[in-house]
């Protein structure tokens, strides 16, 4: 993971070479040579994705954004890309986020499921009708919404949503109920670290998951970043708002092309690409 980037771009190499000292373990060795199972370790996955995304963005002369956004973890990458967070502080916060989320997952078994082919309002209504914790967690694109909650809550919701006409209700192989009230312990733990980190006024606005609105105000950015752990990822709404505000080209930074596909489903007329 990111080895080709490391070898091809000196600027990316200079960033990535700092990672081991910041984290206190050899994450680059796991990224470059580790197995899929090793990359799935909590302490590795989130920092590794962050490192790949930031190294792509900051090592490219073509990356000069007018606005930024990130899906869940990607919001931290976007805040480094627009100068709001330093690379070092961003990586430390991502690592603390990963470990806090892991603790919350271990405290209460929970899960998520992808719901395909239903209007968001129907999914929200069904989740609200269930006498257990289950909420809309990721608004990925029209017709694709991820729900999150207790194992029982998600199972009941999947049954009801299939009865309501969902094309599919797919349980996800995840560690817990991300972006739900069950992440409250992680939110509380991360809040102190975010408040203590040095945030700067960004060079361009960030469209944040919790609100789907643009902000350049550091106080608001911090609050929304803290709220993000228990709030839904409003990706559909964020991309729609960015398009309304003049975005015509979206550039994905990081591993894969999933977000490009989601963006095209939300705003079919925009251009999408990667660095």
In terms of domains, do 195 and 97 share one? yes
In-domain check, residue 90: yes
CATH of the domain at 264: 3.40.366.10
Confidence of residue 165 (pLDDT cuts 50, 70, 90): very high
Q: Decide if 207 contacts 238 (C-beta within 8 A).
A: yes
What is the domain count for the chain?
2
CB 223 within 8 A of CB 249: no
Within a 10 A sphere around the Cβ of 239, how many other Cβ atoms? 27
Mean pLDDT of 251-264: 94
Range of the domain at 187: 3-106+181-274
Residues 99, 114, single domain; the answer is: no
Structural domain contains residue 233: yes
Residue 160 CA to residue 272 CA, distance in Å, equals: 35
pLDDT digits (tens, 9 = 90+) for 201-228: 999 999 999 999 999 999 999 999 999 9
Q: Cβ(18)–Cβ(88) under 8 Å?
A: yes
- From the list 179, 180, 238, 267, the catalytic residue is 179
Residue 215 annotated to the active site: no
Mean pLDDT of 34-46: 90
CB 165 within 8 A of CB 259: no
| pLDDT at residue number 132 | 96
What gap in Å lies between CA 141 and CA 160, rounded to an integer?
21
102-137 in b/e form (b: 16+ CB < 10 A) is bebbeeeebbbbbbeebebebbbebbeebeebbbbb
**pLDDT computed for residue 256 by the predictor:** 87
Identify the band that residue 61 occupies on the pLDDT scale cut at 50, 70 and 90.
Answer: confident
Query: Is the domain of 74 the same as that of 187?
Result: yes
Q: Give the model confidence (pLDDT) of 67-79 as tens digits.
A: 999 999 999 999 9
DSSP labels, 136-189: EEEEEETTEEEEEEEHHHHHHHHHHHHHTT-SEEEE---SS-TTSGGGHHHHHH
Tell me what pLDDT residue 140 has: 98
* Token digits of residue 245: 């505000």
Pair 155, 87 in one domain:
no
Q: Specify whether 21 is located in the same domain as 147.
A: no
Q: At 131, which CATH number? A: 3.30.70.250
**Is 179 considered catalytic here?**
yes
Note the pLDDT tens digit of each residue in 131-156.
Answer: 999 999 999 999 999 999 999 999 99
Q: What is the pLDDT of residues 7-19, one digit of tens each?
A: 999 999 999 999 9
Q: Please indicate, yes or no, if residue 176 is contained in any of the structural domains.
A: no
For residue 85, how many other CB atoms are within 10 A of its CB?
A: 27
Same domain (yes/no): 19, 82: yes
Supply 3's token pair.
């080895």
Of the residues 120, 136, 171, the one at which a domain ends? 171
Which has the closest alpha carbon to 85: 272, 210, 222?
222
Using only the alpha carbons of the chain, give its radius of gyration: 18
How much is the pTM?
0.95
- Candidate list 53, 59, 71, 72, residue with the active-site label: 72
Specify whether 260 is located in the same domain as 141: no
101 and 119 together in one domain: no
């Amino acid at each position: 993971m990111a080895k080709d980037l490391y070898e091809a771009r000196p600027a990316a190499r200079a960033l990535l070479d700092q990672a081991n000292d910041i984290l206190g373990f050899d994450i680059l060795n796991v990224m470059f040579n580790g197995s899929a199972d090793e990359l799935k370790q909590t302490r590795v996955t989130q920092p590794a994705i962050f490192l790949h995304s930031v190294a792509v963005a900051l090592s490219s002369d073509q990356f000069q954004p007018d606005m930024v956004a990130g899906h869940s973890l990607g919001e931290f990458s976007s805040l480094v890309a627009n100068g709001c967070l330093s690379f070092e502080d961003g990586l430390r916060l991502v690592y603390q986020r990963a470990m806090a989320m892991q603790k919350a997952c271990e405290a209460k078994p929970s899960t998520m499921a992808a719901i395909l082919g239903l209007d968001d309002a129907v999914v929200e209504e069904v989740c609200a009708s269930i006498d257990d914790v289950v909420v809309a967690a990721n608004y990925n694109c029209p017709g694709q919404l991820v729900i999150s909650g207790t194992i029982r809550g998600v199972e009941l919701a999947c049954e009801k949503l299939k009865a309501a006409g969902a094309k599919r209700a797919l349980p996800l192989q995840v560690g817990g109920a991300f972006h739900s009230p069950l992440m409250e312990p992680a939110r509380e733990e991360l809040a102190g670290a975010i408040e203590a980190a040095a945030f700067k006024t960004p060079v361009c606005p960030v469209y944040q998951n919790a609100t789907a609105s643009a902000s350049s105000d550091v106080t608001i950015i911090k609050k929304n970043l803290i709220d993000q752990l228990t709030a839904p990822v409003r990706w559909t709404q964020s991309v729609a708002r960015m398009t309304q505000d003049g975005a015509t080209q979206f550039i994905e930074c990081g591993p894969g092309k999933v977000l490009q596909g989601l963006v095209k489903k939300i705003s079919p007329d925009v251009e999408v690409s990667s660095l």
